[in-house]
């Protein structure tokens, strides 16, 4: 199966800068890029829709906190055993802060003795989605006071490019790797986790499959927002985004190695992995929201 001559060897150190007390990972930079692109796109849409730009900064803050907190909590679906054996205090610190326990570390900026900055290495997209939906609800209730789907339609447009950037970060990190493959673009992830097995086996670059699909989704829903009247059907763009994104996630999972403990998949035992099982409810929600959007029409 493994084509030794055509496979691409990927051996990039995931740490871009190492200052001793702090390490800057490519993955972290991809998250920053995701939010920067989202901020810019949201600004353009608010200007187009003649909405006061003063809401942009608090929206960014709500989105950031909702995504990060939700993503970290969602990671428990994949690596619950990692935190289960920890003292509760250490578990809470490592779930919600970008640090890891290291007895040899002097302190983390003088605050956390025995911890070092590591960046967030595990961020689950399903948890990030739920966290963001809750943050959007709270933001809308306090600042915007519109139909929530008006906001979600526009925010949905910002997500695919950010998701693509994050999947590129996963590729650089040699994580969420694909299953073995003999295709000419298969990749040997030399620095992959030992949990995936032999690092000299060429694999599907599943992270890039997903990233490319997300870019395509962006252009589809951006075109709908700019060139059609569907943006007046509150929830249509958001529903379509949910259907497309989570269908992509469902099918790309067939090319991925299982992630973490997969205890949801093991409990249900229906031949699907965690990512696929957790995607199904989002697809159903997307279909329902999309189909009912004709009942929520508004005009500027």
Q: What average pLDDT values come out for the chain (300 residues) when binned by 10 residues?
A: 66 80 79 92 94 92 86 63 58 55 53 54 73 93 93 95 93 92 94 87 96 98 95 96 96 87 73 88 96 88
Structural domain includes residue 63: yes
Structural domain includes residue 33: yes
Structural domain includes residue 3: no
Question: Residue 191: how many CA atoms within 13 Å on its side-chain side?
Answer: 12
Question: Residue 256: how many CA atoms within 13 Å on its side-chain side?
Answer: 27
Residue 92: the pLDDT is: 52
In DSSP terms, which residues pair with 23 in a beta bridge? 18
Structural domain includes residue 1: no
Structural domain includes residue 300: no
Domain of residue 30 covers 8-295
Number of folded domains that form the chain: 1
Q: Is the dihedral of CA 292, 44, 300, 228 positive or negative?
A: negative
- How far is it, in rounded angstroms, from Cα 205 to Cα 252? 10
Return the structure tokens found at 179. Answer: 């299953």
Tell me the whole-structure pTM to 2 decimals: 0.82
Cβ 299 vs Cβ 232: under 8 Å: yes
Q: Count of residues for the chain?
A: 300
Residue 23: the pLDDT is: 72
Structural domain includes residue 274: yes
Residue 118: the pLDDT is: 53
**What is the b/e burial string over 256-288, where b = at least 16 CB atoms within 10 angstroms of the residue's CB?**
bbbbbbbebbeeeeeebbbbbbbbeebbebbee
Structural domain includes residue 146: yes
- How far is it, in rounded angstroms, from Cα 279 to Cα 247? 8
Cβ 238 vs Cβ 152: under 8 Å: yes
Strands 187-189 and 8-10: parallel
Structural domain includes residue 262: yes
């Amino acid at each position: 199966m493994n084509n030794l001559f055509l496979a691409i060897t990927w051996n990039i150190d995931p740490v871009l800068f190492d200052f001793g007390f702090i390490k800057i990972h490519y993955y972290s930079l991809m998250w920053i890029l995701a939010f920067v692109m989202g901020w810019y796109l949201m600004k353009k849409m608010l200007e187009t829709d003649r909405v006061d730009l003063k809401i942009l900064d608090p929206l960014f803050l709500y989105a950031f906190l909702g995504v990060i907190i939700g993503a970290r909590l969602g990671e428990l679906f994949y690596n619950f055993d990692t935190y289960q054996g920890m003292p509760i205090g250490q578990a809470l610190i490592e779930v919600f802060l970008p640090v890891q326990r290291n007895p040899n570390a002097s302190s983390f900026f003088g605050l956390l003795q025995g911890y070092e900055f590591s960046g967030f290495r595990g961020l689950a997209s399903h948890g990030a989605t739920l966290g963001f939906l809750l943050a959007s609800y709270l933001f809308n209730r306090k600042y915007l006071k519109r139909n929530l789907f008006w906001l979600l339609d526009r925010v949905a447009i910002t997500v695919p490019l950010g998701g693509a950037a994050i999947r590129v970060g996963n590729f650089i990190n040699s994580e969420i790797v694909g299953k073995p493959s003999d295709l000419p673009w298969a990749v040997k992830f030399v620095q992959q986790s030992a949990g995936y097995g032999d690092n000299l086996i060429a694999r599907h670059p599943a992270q890039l499959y997903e990233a490319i699909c997300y870019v395509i989704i962006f252009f589809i829903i951006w075109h709908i927002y700019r060139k059609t009247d569907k943006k007046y059907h509150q929830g249509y763009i958001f529903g379509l985004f949910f259907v497309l994104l989570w269908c992509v996630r469902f099918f790309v999972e067939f090319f991925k190695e299982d992630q973490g403990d997969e205890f949801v998949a093991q409990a249900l035992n229906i031949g699907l992995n965690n990512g696929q099982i957790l995607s199904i409810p989002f697809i159903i929600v997307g279909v329902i929201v999309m189909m009912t959007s004709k009942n929520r029409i508004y005009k500027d």
